[in-house]
Chains A and B, each alone.
Chain A
Amino acid sequence: MSDRIDSDAGRDGAALGSGRNLPPLRLHVPEPKFRPGDTADFSDFDIPPAGAQARPDEVAQPGEMRDLAYGLVRVLDENGAAVGPWDPKLPAETLLKMLRAMALTRAFDGRMFRAQRQGKTSFYMKSTGEEAVSIGAALALASDDMCFPSYRQQGILIARGWPIIDMMNQIYSNKGDRLKGRQLPIMYSAREAGFFSISGNLTTQYPQAVGWAMASAARGDTRIAATWCGEGSTAEGDFHSACTFASVYRAPVIMNVVNNQWAISSFSGFAGAEATTFAARAIGYGIAGLRVDGNDALAVYAATRWAADRARSNAGPTLIEHFTYRVEGHSTSDDPSAYRSADEASHWPLGDPIARLKKHCIGLGIWDEERHAAMDKELAEMVRDAAREAEKNGILGHGLHHPMESMFEDVFEEMPWHLREQQQAMLDEWKAAGL
């Protein structure tokens, strides 16, 4: 590098240091610790014990809780026991509901991933290992709080009881797809479930969630907004604008950063993780910042509940970093073995969110291995049956899609002349071609 710079013709040699007694500058380009072929080793990972973090009052000043932005809120210990001040002390019914939603999300992901491999749809994205992040949060919010998700929070829809067959219809872009085949698979929209239309453009939902929350506050409503993005997307300008607006107007919003360590092939260092935590960014904005064990459903629930209570008491927004791991590839179009160590996921020190909650429930005596196995079997069958039903509405490329003239609808509330003209021209062309 320095050789190349020294030989760079046309530059002023003095400015490059050749005439000065100064060390050459060096550009730091982050590198992940493990690449393909390496053995992942997280033994030097600093994981605070469960229960160690203090739980401040919900209306505490952001400056009084700086430690929470650098630590890790954890509830479930190695034995699966819930410990410490963040234990939400959930009733058995809620714990099992949470466990079931997480297991259903994983079963759904498995089935839809295979459907893509079978050519039934063009694209899919799993959330394996991150189920606690969406489901723990969804159960801690009120059902009419508005969620502005990214593409990896399908668990919210599932936790809110949204029919999986509707999700599958969207994935198959079939005649049952409420979005009329216009959107790439998994870009759901479910207004009734408080689930905002997903966009392919990263982090655009962040200021939108803040705006929704501001509107709710301006109206004297009691509903709050929550939004999610990945750690990679925190680098987008919209993240900054959203944090600024949220801070300035003390918007009743929860801003979740799902730090799953990877943004496609880029490790979190390219989003700034080498220098600080993502939760710590909240401090600079004067926002409450929490860093949470994202594979601990109880910690996610507790943190979200805390932030929701904070928002509802007009104490302002909260930024929550969920520290987790993206177990699978980025999408069906991605092969993670091309850029990261194959065994990272199995070495991930925070474990698997479903296994950890299951252990907790078994420890409480409200659950056992047999029931869990039976539930997994039941969910697999349920997903299979739903998929078969959805496939009756058509799969991608098999013609059972919405009529092609519907392509022109909903661009505007009323179709203007130029779209009507293009619509008619298209139909005439197909007719002329004898199709």
Chain B
Amino acid sequence: MNMIQAINSALDVMMGRDPDVVVMGEDVGYFGGVFRATAGLQQKYGNHRVFDTPITECGIIGVAVGMGAYGLRPVPEIQFADYIYPALDQLVSEAARLRYRSAGEFISPMTVRSPFGGGIFGGQTHSQSPEGIFTHVSGVKTVIPSTPYDAKGLLIAAIEDNDPTIFFEPKRIYNGPFDGHYDTPAKSWAGHEQAQVPTGYYRVPLGEARVTRAGEALTVLCYGTMVHVVENTVAEMGVDAEILDLRTLVPLDIEAIERSVRKTGRCLIVHEATRTSGFGAELMAQVQERCFYHLEAPIERVTGFDTPYPHSLEWAYFPGPVRIREAINKILKD
């Protein structure tokens, strides 16, 4: 399966298992979603469980909070992560706080799916990576898969989880892994070992990172599309890097990070999101606090620049192979 099919399969599996699961969002019903992630679900489960909504993100999430309070398990879709901001009040002030402020009387077991990230000439409002906004909010979990296998397993785990979860789907790798070489033909997931996706139910637990490549020279912390860019760059360089796909940002798999950095003594953090106050800053702080005496070089970050996501200059902005290579060389030189 490609990542879209894996996500579709996760929704199908969960709707079949749990009558409380409902899917809602702009264009998700009859049409099956602008990325086809919900294709066929309305036909299969009916329009009381899979339905199109008005174009109002604050309404979609607000309604999902109410449905959760009733006892349903909503899976709202925000068409692009760039359009999640109108729903921020409902997510930050309501969904994230509901269990805490009611001392557990009411909960918000929703999973907000949203395509995110760049690399598709999406310009300013179809490319953003706003995960740092959500990792800063107490009470929500933030999950980002990088493969079809993980996308399905993590989405199932998120839907089953009783806490509100932001599930960001890297749209650049919906149809195939992306190694950062934008000038070569696009690849498909066919043949990729992580594209072997069981058709039935399985979970990938939240809060656990995946070591995609074991190594000794340095640790690279990354997630989403950047996992593939890093994997490829490391292979091209012939560096013995250990690559961690974090998969869940909150709660973070701190043990896996600590274990790896203590072993390698060097750490690179890579994300598409802008640098200042991005999630990389938190990762840096954690590594510095926990692995200080094991560090042999300063921790480096390769991230998006602190600018809005540009259109024509996308490949200068994107943290691609050139920038990652430079950072790795710098870390290894120290």
B-contacting residues of A (Cβ < 8 Å)? 146, 148, 178-180, 182-183, 187, 189-191, 196-197, 199-201, 204, 206-216, 218-219, 225, 237-238, 240-242, 244-245, 248, 410-413, 416-418
Contacts and interface: CB of A to CB of B under 8 A. Distances in A.
A256 to B, nearest CB: 16
Interface in B267-295: none
Contacts of A212: 66-67, 69-70
A201 B62 contact: no
A300 B49 CA distance: 35
Contact of B59 (A207, A411, A413): A207
Given A199-B94, A215-B71, A241-B59, A210 B66 contact: yes
Contacts of B207: 416
B130 interface: no
24 contacts: A182-B101, A187-B101, A189-B105, A196-B69, A197-B98, A197-B102, A199-B93, A201-B89, A204-B90, A206-B62, A207-B62, A208-B63, A211-B66, A212-B69, A213-B66, A215-B22, A237-B58, A241-B62, A242-B62, A245-B56, A410-B100, A412-B251, A416-B251, A417-B254
A215 B100 contact: no
B139 A411 contact: yes
Contacts of B70: 146, 211-212, 215-216, 219
A276 B70 CA distance: 34
Interface of B: 22, 48-49, 53-54, 56, 58-59, 62-72, 74, 86, 89-90, 93-94, 97-107, 138-139, 141, 161-163, 207, 250-252, 254
B86 A413 contact: no
A215 B62 CA distance: 13
A242 B56 CA distance: 10
Contacts of B53: 245, 248
Nearest to A218: B48
B101 A214 contact: no
A245 B99 contact: no
A201 B103 CA distance: 18
Nearest to A243: B59
A238 B58 contact: yes
Contacts of B162: 413
Nearest to A179: B103
A211 B58 contact: no
Nearest to B55: A244
Nearest to B92: A201
Nearest to A227: B66
Given A197-B106, A201-B93, A182 B62 contact: no
Contact of B22 (A180, A199, A218, A237): A218
